[in-house]
């Protein structure tokens, strides 16, 4: 449930990539300093009588900590997020308090109506994602996110994902998949002397960071191996709005990522400060399309990556999607999914490579 003490965790936030909090049915206040990629938040349940006092107290703590860390009030952005019908009164109260402190408040779309949720906020990117959804508060349990295929379709395809509310993703996110490409998939593909391009499907690609990462990585691998093997990467998602961002090929790169992957960004894009525009060399290898993974794609792929999608779904949906991926896989082919436990994977009889978290389809 809402945990106002989280505001007190702020000193460690600067080093963290993500802030996570179960906000249940309440409204969360997020203060975000984009200049320093730093954020803190609080969320209050409780009685209407002392709500304003508690909110003032929490806000004071949060502002104090941010200011001690060098953030200054005029540069702070402030967002309100969440709250079911019964808690909507909190929005107007919080707005009043925040305005008194001269904080410019933006009320983010309450994406899914009356739901309990855990949110994950990335101070580095300024993105907010909902990691748990359940329409019936009484059945809500943080341990079980269990959307059916139909619910997932309805929720994720709604174009309600706007403004700062996005489905979190990052460049070069699942490291082992890149190592797997270098050590196993590409050498095997080259050995096969296949003239057909290596096709990779980034399923549930969100705003495309993942797709561009694989393109950059494979281009770099081509250069190292001095072999121009043909490849193409399809990024698909159910949310068209995210795909429009992906198609633009322009991103603000978090400082941390710039430090770690700067060579890639400098080589394959034009950097202006922290903003990258990917160039034609990368773009010609990627293609973005709307697609719901409950359908069968027409193509077959050597590699299917569906990262950080299964966590939202129930086991039945996960198995259904995985069977889809198996039938969309080349032979041999490799599938990466996370949040697919051994008890679901083993009955499918696929060879599993723990080092790369790839399942091999023969
Ligand atoms: C947390 S993001 C993961 C993005 C990226 N794969 C990564 O790991 O960084 C989850 C994405 O899955 C997409 N998604 C959820 N259900 C889907 C479905 N049934 N078909 C296609 N995309 C789906 C969401 O729209 C969202 O963009």
Least confident interval from 1-5, 298-302, 344-348 = 1-5
Q: Looking at the CA of residue 293, tell me the nearest atom of ligand 1.
A: 20
pLDDT at 160 over 60: no
Contact call for residues 31 and 63 (beta carbons, < 8 A): yes
Least confident interval from 1-15, 74-88, 182-196, 293-307 = 1-15
Q: Looking at the CA of residue 292, tell me the nearest atom of ligand 1.
A: 20
- Give the residue, by CA position, lying nearest to ligand 1 atom 27: 206
Task: Quote the DSSP letter at residue 132.
Answer: -
pLDDT at 355 over 50: yes
As a whole-number percent, the residues of the chain with pLDDT over 70 amount to 82
pLDDT digits (tens, 9 = 90+) for 165-207: 347 788 999 999 999 999 999 999 999 988 899 999 999 999 9
End-to-end CA distance of the chain: 46
- Ramachandran class of 215: left when φ > 0, alpha when ψ lies in -120 to 50, beta otherwise: alpha
What pLDDT does residue 339 have? 85
Q: CA–CA separation, 80 vs 84, rounded Å?
A: 13
Whether 309 is in the pocket of ligand 1, judged by its Cβ within 6 Å, is: yes
Give 113 Cα–ligand 1 centroid separation in angstroms.
20
- Between residues 120 and 40, which one has the greater pLDDT? 40
Q: Looking at the CA of residue 173, tell me the nearest atom of ligand 1.
A: 9
Residue 100 class from Cβ within 10 Å (0-12 exposed, 13-18 middle, 19+ buried)? exposed
Q: How confident is the model at residue 24 (pLDDT cuts 50, 70, 90)?
A: low
Domains in the chain, ordered, with CATH? 4-143 (3.30.1330.200), 175-361 (3.40.50.150)
- Give the residue, by CA position, lying nearest to ligand 1 atom 9: 169
């Amino acid at each position: 449930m809402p945990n106002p003490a989280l505001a007190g965790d702020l000193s460690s936030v600067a080093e963290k990539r993500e802030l996570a909090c179960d906000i249940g049915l309440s409204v969360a206040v997020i203060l975000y300093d984009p200049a320093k990629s730093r954020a803190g938040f609080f969320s209050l349940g409780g009685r209407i009588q002392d709500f304003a006092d508690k909110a003032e107290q929490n806000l004071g703590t949060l502002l104090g900590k941010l200011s001690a860390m060098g953030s200054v009030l005029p540069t702070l952005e402030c967002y309100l997020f969440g709250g079911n019908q019964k808690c909507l009164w909190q929005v107007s109260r919080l707005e009043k308090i925040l305005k008194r402190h001269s904080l410019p408040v933006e009320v983010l779309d309450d994406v899914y109506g009356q739901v309990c949720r855990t949110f994950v906020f990335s101070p580095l990117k300024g993105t907010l994602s909902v990691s748990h959804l359940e329409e019936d508060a009484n059945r809500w349990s943080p341990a079980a996110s269990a959307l059916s295929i139909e619910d997932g379709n309805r929720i994720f395809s709604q174009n309600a994902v706007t403004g700062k509310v996005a489905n979190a993703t990052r460049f070069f996110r699942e490291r082992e998949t890149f190592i797997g490409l270098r050590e196993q998939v590409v050498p095997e593909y080259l050995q096969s002397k296949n003239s057909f391009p290596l096709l990779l499907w980034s399923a549930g690609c969100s705003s495309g960071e993942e797709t561009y990462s694989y393109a950059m990585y494979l281009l770099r691998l081509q250069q190292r191996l001095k072999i121009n093997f043909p490849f193409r990467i399809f990024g698909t998602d159910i949310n068209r709005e995210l795909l429009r961002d992906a198609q633009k090929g322009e991103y603000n790169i978090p400082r941390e990522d710039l430090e770690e992957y700067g060579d890639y960004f400098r080589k394959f894009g034009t950097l202006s400060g922290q903003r990258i525009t990917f160039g034609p060399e990368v773009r010609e290898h990627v293609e973005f399309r709307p697609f719901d993974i409950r359908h069968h794609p027409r193509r077959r792929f050597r590699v299917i990556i569906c990262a950080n999608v299964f966590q939202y779904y129930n086991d039945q949906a996960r198995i259904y999607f995985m069977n889809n991926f198996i039938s969309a896989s080349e032979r041999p082919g490799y599938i990466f999914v996370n949040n697919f436990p051994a008890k679901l994977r083993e009955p499918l009889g696929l060879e599993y490579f723990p080092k790369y978290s790839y399942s091999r389809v023969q």
